[in-house]
Amino acid sequence: MNLARTVAALPKKPQRRRFTVDEYDRLTELGLWGADDRIELIRGDLIEMVAKGTAHILCCRKLLQQLVHAVQTQAIIQCQDPIVLPLGSEPEPDFALLDVNVGDFKPNADQVLLVIEVSDSSLDYDRTTKGPLYAEAQIPHYWIFNCLDKQVECHSQLQQNAKGEWLYSLCQVILPPQRLALPGSMQGAIDIGDCF
């Protein structure tokens, strides 16, 4: 055995191991993480979500009440459950409005009408990682309920840049006491002042 050749064949640094959505789902089914673990799959990487602060919890609770009242039967409201996206991602947004015909399985991007993240300590991550991820999946509307500044950042109008990457070309900032109309053909509005 030629030891020099064997040593030269070894990797020079640790290699990142990315997971597919199927592998991630299987590990979840096997109970690899506990009930208190908050893990999501983003572009093949396992990401530990930040702990929810009081502002996040209260905003989610109030926003859920507003969504139930405004949406009624126009869409399915999903709360902190996974959506399956391309390129090895299965995020768990705070809310997603889904097509009423979604069925009894995890929704994919084509069935998502709107994704909502409630942000305090995760604001930068929700802007720089989650936003591009949702745009890449061509989810038509992405809202960030910004608990720090008490405003909603509404991202829409998908377009491709010169590199062929999808992005939201419009970001509207909505401040209390304005009401925020549901996107697309849905009727109804949310009183954002009641969410913060």
pLDDT digits (tens, 9 = 90+) for 54-104: 999 999 999 999 999 999 999 999 999 999 998 899 999 999 999 999 988
CA–CA separation, 111 and 104 (whole Å): 12
Which residues touch 108 (CB under 8 Å, ≥6 apart)?
A: 83, 84, 85
Amino acid at 124: D
* pLDDT greater than 80 at residue 118: yes
Residue 61, phi-psi category: left (phi > 0), alpha (psi -120 to 50), beta (remainder): alpha
- For residue 105, the enclosing domain spans 51-194
Of 123, 97, 117, 111, the closest CA to residue 183 belongs to 97
The Cα angle at residue 142 between residues 136 and 146, in degrees rounded to 5 = 130
CA–CA separation, 99 and 30 (whole Å): 30
Q: Is residue 94 one of the residues assigned to a domain?
A: yes
Q: Is residue 56 one of the residues assigned to a domain?
A: yes
CA–CA separation, 75 and 84 (whole Å): 18
- Whole-model pTM: value is 0.88
Q: Is residue 108 one of the residues assigned to a domain?
A: yes
Q: Is residue 5 one of the residues assigned to a domain?
A: no
Percent of the chain clearing pLDDT 90 (strictly above): 78
| 3-state secondary structure (DSSP) of residue 22 | helix
Amino acid at 151: Q
Q: Is residue 117 one of the residues assigned to a domain?
A: yes
Domain total of the chain? 1
Predicted local distance difference test score (pLDDT) of residue 93: 98
- Compute the Cα dihedral for 179, 184, 187, 190 and give only its sign: negative
Measured from the Cβ of residue 178, the count of other Cβ atoms closer than 10 Å reads 15
CA–CA separation, 104 and 71 (whole Å): 20
Q: Is residue 12 one of the residues assigned to a domain?
A: no
11-57 pLDDT, tens per residue? 677 788 899 999 999 988 898 887 778 899 999 999 998 889 999 99
Q: Is residue 37 one of the residues assigned to a domain?
A: no
Predicted local distance difference test score (pLDDT) of residue 8: 60
Predicted local distance difference test score (pLDDT) of residue 28: 87
Q: Is residue 146 one of the residues assigned to a domain?
A: yes
**What is the CATH classification number for the domain harbouring 185?**
3.90.1570.10
